[in-house]
């Protein structure tokens, strides 16, 4: 059942690209035209989930199918953490990737979906190396930082990426005994930790997510080592979504070139409104460990 190579391979094809949240076929088309390498089909962007409250669930398959019909790029959709039945349904719908996401209300207080049981690939959020490796060990084909979705505040995504980077760096100087201890702390097989040490990075594609609102945010995350960027509310909660979308895609391509970034960032209109992390009622990143 588990199709490791083709599923991890699809994630490789997303690299240096931007995956955008869309809530309908029209938005999906705007995202595709702006240069998104995939779209995330959902009923409400995280900023609205946050402000409206209530239980957030998998989106209506009819909506997801409409979005799949509207664009030729891959389509992802979200399930609640641990909700393997929502995953079965999305697999039956035929989505290209499932995001087992803390943005939705968790369904299983004990754990995540066993992703080896599915043909479809999964991406999962992580705040640190241990969390990332636990998800990979469950069969995730791709990782993203959790950040703090729907806030337009990049600080948590930076925290998560820097934490992972530091923990991966620390592996390099560890002796065998420490490595075993680390694997035990992370609750993953030692081989997985050894593999990360050899590679000097996660063994799967790792995107930034949760708080990207401007081209500068996207370029920042690329410079911190992200393979690409998810943008949720940042596009369709901005003043000019089509222009913001294209600018964020261009920022990912040109993240090493400040002169170009200056041009890309100019005259885009208002970015999405932002929120301070301290004032949040719901901290989504803490869902699922």
Partner 1 sequence: MRVGLLAVQGAFRDHLSHLEALGASYRLVVSAHDLAGCDRLIIPGGESTVMSKFLRAYNLVGPLKDRLAMGMPVWGICAGAIALASSVDGKKGLLAALDMSVERNAYGRQLASRAVRLSIPILGRTGFEAIFIRAPRITRWSRKVSVEARLEQDPVFVLQKRVMATTFHPELTSEHVFHRFFLNL
Asked if residue 13 binds partner 1 (CB under 8 A), the reply is yes
Q: What is the DSSP string of 31-73?
A: HHHHT-SEEEE-SS-HHHHHHH-S---PPPHHHHHHHHHH-SS
CB of 33 to partner 1, least distance (A): 8
CB of 191 to partner 1, least distance (A): 18
Q: Return the number of the residue (68 or 143) whose C-beta is nearest partner 1.
A: 68
Residues in 60-99 at the binding interface with partner 1, rule: CB under 8 A: 68, 72-74, 91, 94-97
The DSSP output letter for 87 is H
Asked if residue 117 binds partner 1 (CB under 8 A), the reply is no
| Interaction mask 228-257, partner 1, x per CB under 8 A | ---------------------x---xx---
Round to whole Å and give the CA distance between 48 and 54.
11
Q: Which of 5, 15, 29, 78 is catalytic?
A: 78
Q: CB 257: neighbour CB atoms within 10 A? A: 13
Round to whole Å and give the CA distance between 212 and 210.
6
Asked if residue 41 binds partner 1 (CB under 8 A), the reply is no
Q: At a CB cut-off of 8 Å and minimum separation 6, what does 9 contact?
A: none
Asked if residue 263 binds partner 1 (CB under 8 A), the reply is no
Round to whole Å and give the CA distance between 240 and 19.
18
Tell how strand 38-41 and strand 229-231 pair up.
Answer: unpaired
Round to whole Å and give the CA distance between 119 and 6.
10
CB of 100 to partner 1, least distance (A): 16
Among 32, 86, 99, 156, binds partner 1 (CB under 8 A): 32
Among 24, 25, 35, 190, binds partner 1 (CB under 8 A): 35
Asked if residue 6 binds partner 1 (CB under 8 A), the reply is yes
Q: Return the number of the residue (48 or 91) whose C-beta is nearest partner 1.
A: 91
CB of 150 to partner 1, least distance (A): 25
Q: How is the beta sheet containing 18-22 ordered, strand by strand?
A: 205-207, 142-145, 122-126, 97-101, 75-80, 38-41, 18-22, 229-231
78 given a catalytic annotation? yes
Backbone angles phi, psi at 126, to 5 degrees: -150, 150
Asked if residue 26 binds partner 1 (CB under 8 A), the reply is no
* Among 4-12, 43-51, 149-157, 172-180, the segment contacting partner 1 (CB under 8 A): 4-12
- Are the C-beta atoms of 202 and 132 separated by less than 8 Å? yes
Q: Which residue ranges make up the site for partner 1 (CB under 8 A)?
A: 3, 5-7, 9-10, 12-17, 32, 35-38, 68, 72-74, 91, 94-97, 119-121, 249, 253-254
**Enzyme catalytic residues:** 78
């Amino acid at each position: 059942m588990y199709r490791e190579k083709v599923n991890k391979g699809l994630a490789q094809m997303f690299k240096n690209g931007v995956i955008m949240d869309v809530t309908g076929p029209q938005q999906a088309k705007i995202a595709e035209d702006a240069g998104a390498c995939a779209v995330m089909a959902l009923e409400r962007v995280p900023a609205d989930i946050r402000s409206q409250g209530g239980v957030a669930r998998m989106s209506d398959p009819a909506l997801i199918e409409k979005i799949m019909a509207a664009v030729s790029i891959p389509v992802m959709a979200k399930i609640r953490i641990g909700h393997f039945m929502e995953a079965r349904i999305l697999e039956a719908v035929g989505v290209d990737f499932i995001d087992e996401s803390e943005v939705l209300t968790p369904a299983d207080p004990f754990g995540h979906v066993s992703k080896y049981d599915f043909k479809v690939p999964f991406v999962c959020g992580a705040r640190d190396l241990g969390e990332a490796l636990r998800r990979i060990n469950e069969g995730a084909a791709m990782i993203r930082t959790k950040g703090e979705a729907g806030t337009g505040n990049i600080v948590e995504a930076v925290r998560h990426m820097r934490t992972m980077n530091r923990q991966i760096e620390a592996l390099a100087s560890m002796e065998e005994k420490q490595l075993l201890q680390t694997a035990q702390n992370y609750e993953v097989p030692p081989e997985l930790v050894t593999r990360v040490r050899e590679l000097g990075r996660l063994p799967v594609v790792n995107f930034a997510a949760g708080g990207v609102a401007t081209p500068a945010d996207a370029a920042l995350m690329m410079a911190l080592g992200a393979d690409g960027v998810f943008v949720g509310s940042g596009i369709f909660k901005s003043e000019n979504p089509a222009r913001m979308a294209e600018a964020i895609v261009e920022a990912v391509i040109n993240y090493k070139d400040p002169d170009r970034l200056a041009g890309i960032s100019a005259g885009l209109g208002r970015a999405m409104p932002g929120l301070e992390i301290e004032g949040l009622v719901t901290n989504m990143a803490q869902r699922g460990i």
